[in-house]
Structures are given as structure tokens and as C-alpha cells.
Homo-oligomer: A and B are copies of this chain.
Amino acid sequence: MTNKPRYAEASMEAMYRIFTVPEAPGSTLGNIDQKLSQNLAGFLQEHIVAVEKDLEELQKDFSDSEIPEKPIFVSDQADFLMDKLVAQSVHTASPSFIGHMTSALPYFMLPLSRIMMALNQNLVKIETSKAFTPMERQVLGMIHRLIYDKNDGFYDKWMHEPGYSLGSFCSGGTIANITALWVARNCRFDKDLKNGFRGIQRAGLYGALQHYGYKGAAILVSERGHYSLGKAADVLGIGRDSLISIKADARNKIDLQELRTRIDELKADNVAIIGMVGVAGTSETGSVDPLDEMADIAEEIGCHFHVDAAWGGPTLFSKKYAHILKGIERADSVTIDAHKQMYVPMGAGMVVFKDPSLVSSIEHHADYIIRKGSRDLGAYTLEGSRPGIAMLLHSGLKIIGRSGYEILIEQGIEKAHAFASMINAETDFELVSEPELNILTYRYVPAFVKQKLATATPAQVDEIHEVLNRLTKRIQKNQRARGKSFVSRTTLTPEAWDRRRTIVFRVVLANPLTSLEILQDVLAEQKHIASTSACTECMDELHGLCDDRPMHAHAV
């Protein structure tokens, strides 16, 4: 069988072989597969080229817009992918890739992923998923319990109950957030049949506002809230201007006073408050809003309280740090991502609901699947067809366990604190946001600039800040292009700098393989980049602004 050429032949017979004859062990793809399963880290290290290629250059390999008329050999495609795609990918599992939320994967995830792919289940309905449906319901139950800690009786009653759902599994945090706010919106403008209103689900937002006599609908969240919330406000028809952005305080937490003020204003303006979103681990600084106080306010005004814990949710695994999320158990809905701090491959998001009947507000049916009364999960999800990736989280929860995840979470938080101390001990760096969880931000500020800033006039600070912003950007891009390590960057408005727009390095410490030595190297590399020609212009400008001596004396 395997003597036949590996396709590159358009015939029914070749098409048949594509579905029936496996890759030979010695074939190109067979070899890659074997190497991958035996030495993942080595494979990635060996095959991903670290140094950044110009994107225009990369595009050349993907510039043909025509679907090839004739099939090509599997081995040719495998070679192409290795040279042009894999080699030019990002080594997200590298311990020195600390700029984003994508980190390393436990080894067992890979063979399990293949089982999942081979089974090719579709969770929208029982008929294409069978045992995967109760399995996913169990995983949602476990996450629900992690957050809400209800008793056995609660889960015995609701976890597998058709017509109800403890949450919904989806491709990621964005869909989870949109789903939560969709539920919040639909519950807020529920049916009022006595007065002839069939509910927003049928009548739409315009009809709902007219019926209930409001001139608008709003959602409140801190300015540090995730950008998916703006997308949700757009998609749901509320409008981005009605996602009310509340100032964050010096620790990047929502300002409760301003929250109250804005609520009063909205009420006075006759705007319906659909929901309030607390953030448990902001994307940029890892900060956690005062959830308990927000829950009080939500209760007081009677609105849906959603917590976006896409990043920070797994902190609940840690007995030591779970208290940071106090109040999350009072949320009506919570977003949590498995592909972030639960070490499952992309994309595995979830939203869970305190009350398992909430999903009835978004329930939908069809004649050929998800019929009324069925156990099909598709009746309560924004997505339709979905893969069985819950199986990977099920395995993570079993193989790593609560106590294993606790260790992983705690090492991240403690490493972040150690890195913060390291930065504080450096004369040429400034810690911009203290880590509350395992995310922190900082920037390169040479000692001579720090000195000047201490006594500078506001106008001088403005000028220096502007150059520092360009310098940070320059260093970040340069470091990324060199390919040794990677931090990301964002723009904050720190209170300490009177809310000036401040570009910072952003570091996310979730990979357990990231050592303190690596972090020390990251700082050393950044200092080095600052001394190279890439930064000469910025450094010269800083000297010009900060030194009493003339600028050229300091030029490199």
C-alpha cells in the first residue's frame, strides 16, 4: 500500500487512499510526527527560527491566490510547512517568551489532541458527540464549583439536567464575554406578556427600550477592561459609547466612587443598566477589581454582575491567593479561559452561570438538531458546531489536579513578585505596575533621566515622557526582532505620572519553565539594546533634555 505515491494525483483512487492509507513511518510527515511526539521542546527549539524576518518577506511565500489545480505530494507540503510556516512561527512555549498569555503545554496534551482530532466530535448535539456531552457538562460543573462552591446536591440536580446549563464552552474569552452580556441583556429585557411584550429575543433592542421606556442601555466596566467588551457592546446593538468606561485607580482597579457617580448619572438619564463587569486579572496589568464591593453595588441596583476572569480565574486553585478574587462567587456569570492558565491548547473558553436557568434567555432550537427537550448543548451556545476540546481540560483537571494547578499558579505569582524586586533593584528601570497576580509592567528609564524627572517641571516631564515612550517602543521591537526573548508592550496612564500616556513593557509569567536567570537576561538584553545604535537617537534626546552638559558629549 505504502509503495504507491503519496497522492499528487487527481483520481478517485488517490482520493480514496487519502482517507484510508496512513502516513508511512519513514515519510516526511511521519518523521516530523515522531520527532514532535518524542521531543517537543527540542523540536520547537530546532525548527522555529528565532530571528524575525520582515513580514513583507514572509508574505512572498503566501502570495499565490489560486488554489492549485493539481494535488501536490504530502511530503512536498510537509517540507513547505516546515521551511516556510513552522520555521517562521512564534515559539510561544519558549521560557523567554513572556510577552503574551500563550505559554508552554504539558506533554500529554499532544497525544490527547490527536485523539480529539481523530474522533472529530461535534458538541452541538448528542448525535455527533454522545459521551462528550456529559463530559463537557462535567467540566463546566467542576469549573462552576471552583467558583461558586455549591454543595453536591446542587450539582447532582443541575449538572446534567436537560433544559438547563451551568455554562457554555466556547472558542475563547471573547465569545464567553459576549455570551455573558447577551444573557444579561436578554434577562434585563425579558418577556412582559401581560403588556404584550414578547421579550428582546424576539422583539429586538429597539422594541425592548420602547416597551420599558428607556432611552438607552449601558454596561459599566473599568478602563482596564478587555477590548472584547467593546466588541460585545457593538455586536449586541448597545453601541460602544454605552460601554461606560470607569477610571481605574493607582493600582489599576475600578474606582468605586466614579462607578457610583456614573450609575447615578445613567439613572438620571433614564438609561437601563444591563450589567456591570468586574475584571479578575486585567490583560495589561493583571489587576483584580474589588469584586465584593462591585457585587454589593450590583445587588443594590439590581443588575447583572459579570466577572471577566479569563486570565485570573485559575488563581482560585491557590489556597494562598484565592482571596484576591473574593466576591467572584457573587457574580451572575464568570468568564474563564482554559487555554490560558489551565495550559490547554488554543481555543478553549468558558462562561459559567451561577443560576443554571439563566441560559433560557438565549435558548434556541431547530428541527433537525437541538430540538426542544433534547440534551444537545447547542441550544445554549453562541457558536454552533464545536470541537470536543473540553476533553483536554478534563484531562488537565485530572492529571494536574487541584493541587498541581495550585503549584503552577503560585510559582507564577511569586516569580512576578521576584521579578518586580529585581526591577526595583535596578537603577535603570522603573516598575510601572506592581504585580497583583503574575503580570507586571515596567520601562527602561536610565538613572540620569530618573534624577531629572524627580525635579522636572510638568512641561519637562511631558517632553521626557514622550521620548521615553519612543525608546520603550524601540527597545521592544528590537528585542522581538532579535528573537532571544520577547516581552510585549502597551500604553497605560499611571496615576504616578499624572495619567500621562506611558508606553511600558508588559510581562506575563505563566510558563513554569521561565527561570529568574532568564528574567535577569531579559533586563540585561534591554539595557544592551538601549546602548546600541537602534536607540542612539532617543538616548541623545534624553541626554539633551536631562543633562546640564551639552548633548554631544554623551552621544554614543
Contact = CB atoms under 8 A, between A and B. Distances in A.
A397 B65 CA distance: 11
A332 to B, nearest CB: 19
A144 interface: yes
A241 B182 CA distance: 17
Contact of A100 (B65, B122, B137): B122
A384 interface: yes
Interface in A339-374: 339, 345-347, 362, 364-370
A406 B18 CA distance: 14
Contact of A480 (B70, B71, B127, B137): B127
A173 to B, nearest CB: 6
5 contacts: A14-B404, A43-B118, A92-B122, A182-B235, A347-B383
Interface in A128-150: 128-135, 137-138, 141-142, 144-146
A276 B476 CA distance: 47
Contact of A113 (B114, B204, B489): B114
A402 B369 CA distance: 32
Contacts of A156: 63
Given A63-B160, A64-B142, A76-B398, 16 more contacts: A12-B512, A18-B400, A44-B118, A61-B134, A62-B138, A62-B160, A70-B403, A80-B398, A81-B395, A120-B346, A173-B384, A201-B240, A204-B237, A206-B217, A367-B491, A368-B488
B120 A67 contact: no
A174 B65 contact: no
A143 to B, nearest CB: 8
B81 A391 contact: yes
A349 to B, nearest CB: 8
B114 A36 contact: yes
A73 to B, nearest CB: 8
A398 B39 contact: no
A65 B138 CA distance: 6
B84 A131 contact: yes
A100 to B, nearest CB: 5
A536 interface: no
Most chain B beta-carbon neighbours within 10 Å: one of A81, A85, A87: A85
A234 interface: yes
B239 A204 contact: yes
Interface string A44-72: 10001000100100110111111111111
Interface stretch (A225-233, A290-298, A321-329): A225-233
Given A88-B131, A108-B74, A44 B205 contact: no
A198 interface: yes
B113 A58 contact: no
B71 A401 contact: yes
A315 B480 CA distance: 43
Interface string A377-411: 00000111111100100010111111110111001
Nearest to A145: B65
Interface stretch (A20-28, A255-263, A422-430, A453-461): A20-28
B202 A206 contact: no
Nearest to A68: B401
A40 interface: yes
B512 A19 contact: yes
Contacts of A339: 385
Nearest to A144: B65
B129 A346 contact: no
Residue among A65, A126, A234 with max Cβ neighbours from chain B (10 Å): A65
A473 to B, nearest CB: 10
Contacts of A121: 89-90, 92, 102, 346
A30 interface: yes
A355 B35 CA distance: 43
B198 A241 contact: yes
Given A89-B132, A216-B204, A108 B36 contact: no
A404 B204 contact: no
A99 interface: yes
Nearest to A132: B89
A542 to B, nearest CB: 23
Given A113-B117, A391-B81, A408-B15, A22 B10 contact: no
A36 B115 contact: yes
Contact of A171 (B16, B87, B114, B386): B386
Nearest to A159: B65
A375 interface: yes
Nearest to A56: B160
B241 A69 contact: no
A202 B172 contact: no
Nearest to A386: B347
A277 interface: no
A394 to B, nearest CB: 8
A76 B172 CA distance: 29
A535 interface: no
